[in-house]
Amino acid sequence: MSYVLEGLTGAWELVIGLEVHAQVISQAKLFSGAPASYGGEPNAHVSLVDAAFPGMLPVINKECVAQAVRTGLGLNARVNLESRFDRKNYFYADLPAGYQISQFTRPLIGAGTLEIELADGSLRQIGITRLHLEQDAGKSMHDQSPTKSLIDLNRAGVGLMEIVSEPDMRSPEEAGAYLRKLRTILRYLGTCDGNMEEGSMRADVNVSVRRAGEPLRTRCEIKNVNSVRFVMQAIEIEARRQIEVWERDGVVDQETRLFDPGRGETRSLRSKEDAHDYRYFPDPDLLPLVLDEGWLAALKAQLPELPDAKRDRFITQYGIARNDAGVLVADRAVADYFEVVAVGAEPRLAANWVTGDLFAALNRTGRSIDDSPVTAPALRDLLRLVGDQTINGRIAKDVFEEMVQTGEPAEALIERKGLRQITDPAALSAAIDDVIARHPDKLAEFRSGKEKLFGFFVGQVMKATQGRGNPALVNEALGRRLRL
Ligand code: ADP
Ligand code: MG
């Protein structure tokens, strides 16, 4: 079922295209040797190139190019063996050179695709238009002094990948799924940390609306949205605004807007008429970027297994449900954790425990998977003890909770607390006899046809064994005994 918004005059379809800026993970900046790391004292990570001192020349950082190529390969995109850097000219205090080095007409990476999965399980292919490398700008700080604006050039010159999608998305949900999937892929590749809160991944959101079957209408671009939730909110709010304009017989102007989450509205920043003319031209300080085919092949050969491939492998290798596999591969650390558990214990049980009890425990304790209070080998050992019938599933939950609190290994804990499962038929029938002796009334009711009392007896026997009875054996023995 497709997503539409109802206006006063009928249904409207949404059209969404995203431009994502992703900061390249590298030691140094794109064209200088200054550190690309986050934070630091203002202007501590600035070389003469970043500060655009006269006569300074840019030198391309090969690792940044490799990172962009890996990303292109991860997006099933064409890698252009020859690309070019252009100057994008504008004046701003945090841009000392007066231009940003970017790629305009000939980007490093061409068309690709990204597959998203929606809540109803359906799959969609979203087209990637291009990916190019460019420099980040510095930061102006207007709130540090009552009389001055200050400039921090630590970010100036840091490598960014701009990843542009086709206008292929049709709902806030699709845009959210696209961003999350892109972030997962970048993190798998190790090419961007994907931290939207820190600004190392940010999105410009292009939105238009139309009647079903129409050609594209005018879009607006919402700049620099910094969380998946805000992107989804901004899309719906902006689409509703445009619908209102069209329905009032107005015209949507192509403009750049800002999203204000506090007020739940988008506001105009600048219209197309005052859009910048950047006077792009090839940067004369840089030669065209020509890739060596052998180098490209080596990068390709070293790519890690990506989320889609890992999901498909989990399904076939471990026999787990597609949905569980999708959840497990969304975070590489979770996928790795799961595999350690699944190799040593029953995989479907492992998937249930990781996505259920483990996730709940991480949530509760505010810990991340890398810092999990129960390590993967520890959970594997616990599930082995369920698999070999040392403990039953109910007791395993309690043992796990205790492991979360204390970090004690499952086996030691089970021995110390005497939690081994009772499978001895004599011990179980003694417990059963005892329960029956204490409930003659219930026995009579059961025998006169009140079958659902069976559950009551099971519960009583489990209680009598402090939850340690083997559930299958208890059921079986009880069934035989009650139906005598
Ligand atoms: P610009 O470089 O001026 O931002 P582009 O043509 O590169 O313009 O498009 C930028 C983004 O806008 C792309 O992600 C594209 O998918 C999206 N886009 C283009 N047309 C529309 C439209 N009519 N509705 C929604 N998004 C659009
Ligand atoms: Mg744009």
Mean of pLDDT values over 475-481: 89
What CATH architecture applies to the domain 425-482? Orthogonal Bundle (1.10)
- Residue 333: the pLDDT is 96
pLDDT tens readout for residues 53-62: 999 999 999 9
What is the whole-number distance in angstroms between the Cα of residue 131 and the centre of ligand 1?
14
Measured between alpha carbons, how far is 24 from 68 in angstroms, rounded to an integer? 8
Which amino acid is it at 446?
A: F
pLDDT tens readout for residues 227-243: 999 999 999 999 999 99
Does the CB atom of residue 242 touch ligand 1 within 6 A?
A: no
pLDDT tens readout for residues 460-472: 999 998 889 988 8
What is the whole-number distance in angstroms between the Cα of residue 235 and the centre of ligand 1?
14
What is the whole-number distance in angstroms between the Cα of residue 206 and the centre of ligand 1?
6
Measured between alpha carbons, how far is 328 from 151 in angstroms, rounded to an integer? 43
Measured between alpha carbons, how far is 9 from 246 in angstroms, rounded to an integer? 10
pLDDT tens readout for residues 252-303: 999 999 999 999 999 999 887 666 789 999 999 999 999 999 999 999 999 9
Q: Is 285 helix (H, G, I), strand (E, B) or coil?
A: coil
* Closest atom of ligand 1 relative to the 164 alpha carbon: 14
Does the CB atom of residue 219 touch ligand 1 within 6 A?
A: yes
Measured between alpha carbons, how far is 105 from 85 in angstroms, rounded to an integer? 9
- Residue 1: the pLDDT is 57
* Closest atom of ligand 1 relative to the 218 alpha carbon: 23
For ligand 1, atom 19, which residue shows the shortest CA distance?
Answer: 167
Does the CB atom of residue 131 touch ligand 1 within 6 A?
A: no
Q: Give all strands (DSSP E) within 52-121, no chain letters.
A: 82-83, 86-89, 99-102, 112-117
Does the CB atom of residue 102 touch ligand 1 within 6 A?
A: no
Phi/psi-derived region of residue 46, left when phi > 0, alpha when psi is between -120 and 50, beta in every other case? beta
pLDDT tens readout for residues 161-220: 999 999 999 999 999 999 999 999 999 999 999 999 889 999 999 999 999 999 999 999
What is the whole-number distance in angstroms between the Cα of residue 68 and the centre of ligand 1?
21
Does the CB atom of residue 208 touch ligand 1 within 6 A?
A: yes
**Residue 292 C-beta-side C-alpha neighbours within 13 Å:** 6
User: Is residue 148 exposed (0-12), middle (13-18) or buried (19+ Cβ within 10 Å)?
Assistant: exposed
Instruction: Give the CA diameter of the chain.
Output: 100
Does the CB atom of residue 15 touch ligand 1 within 6 A?
A: yes
- Residue 484: the pLDDT is 65
Q: What are phi and psi of 13, to 5 degrees?
A: -95, 145
Measured between alpha carbons, how far is 272 from 284 in angstroms, rounded to an integer? 29
Which amino acid is it at 218?
A: T
Do 16 and 210 touch, CB atoms closer than 8 A? no
What is the whole-number distance in angstroms between the Cα of residue 221 and the centre of ligand 2?
7
- From 131, 164, 277, the mutation candidate for ligand 1 (largest count of ligand atoms within 8 A of CB) is 164
What is the whole-number distance in angstroms between the Cα of residue 160 and the centre of ligand 2?
15
Do 454 and 446 touch, CB atoms closer than 8 A? yes
H/E segment holding residue 230: helix 228-247
- Residue 274: the pLDDT is 64
- From 113, 166, 206, 218, the mutation candidate for ligand 1 (largest count of ligand atoms within 8 A of CB) is 206
Does the CB atom of residue 216 touch ligand 1 within 6 A?
A: yes
Q: What are phi and psi of 363, to 5 degrees?
A: -60, -50
pLDDT, mean over the chain: 95
Does the CB atom of residue 166 touch ligand 1 within 6 A?
A: yes
* Closest atom of ligand 1 relative to the 18 alpha carbon: 14
Measured between alpha carbons, how far is 335 from 358 in angstroms, rounded to an integer? 13
Non-local (6+) Cβ contacts of 268 within 8 A are 255, 256, 257
Mean of pLDDT values over 350-367: 97
- Residue 421: the pLDDT is 86
Do 286 and 85 touch, CB atoms closer than 8 A? yes
What is the whole-number distance in angstroms between the Cα of residue 189 and the centre of ligand 1?
26
Do 257 and 267 touch, CB atoms closer than 8 A? yes
Q: How far is CA 417 from the centre of its chain?
A: 40
Q: Which ligand is nearest to the CA of 278?
A: 1
- Residue 43: the pLDDT is 96
Does the CB atom of residue 165 touch ligand 1 within 6 A?
A: yes
With tokens 């939105």, the residue in question is 207
Q: Please choose, from the candidates 289, 306, 467, 447, the residue with its C-alpha nearest in 3D space to the C-alpha of residue 391.
A: 467
Mean of pLDDT values over 58-85: 98
Express the helix, strand and coil content of the chain in percent, nearest 5 each: 40, 20, 40
Does the CB atom of residue 18 touch ligand 1 within 6 A?
A: yes
User: How many CB atoms are closer than 10 A to CB 236?
Assistant: 17
Which pLDDT band, with edges at 50, 70 and 90, does 344 fall under?
A: confident
Structural domain boundaries in the chain: 4-298, 305-417, 425-482
For ligand 1, atom 5, which residue shows the shortest CA distance?
Answer: 164
Its sign, for the CA torsion 310, 314, 320, 321, is: positive
What is the whole-number distance in angstroms between the Cα of residue 123 and the centre of ligand 2?
27
pLDDT tens readout for residues 81-127: 999 999 999 999 999 999 999 999 999 999 999 999 999 989 999 99
Specify the pTM.
Answer: 0.90
Mean of pLDDT values over 404-428: 91
Q: Please choose, from the candidates 115, 116, 107, the residue with its C-alpha nearest in 3D space to the C-alpha of residue 78.
A: 107
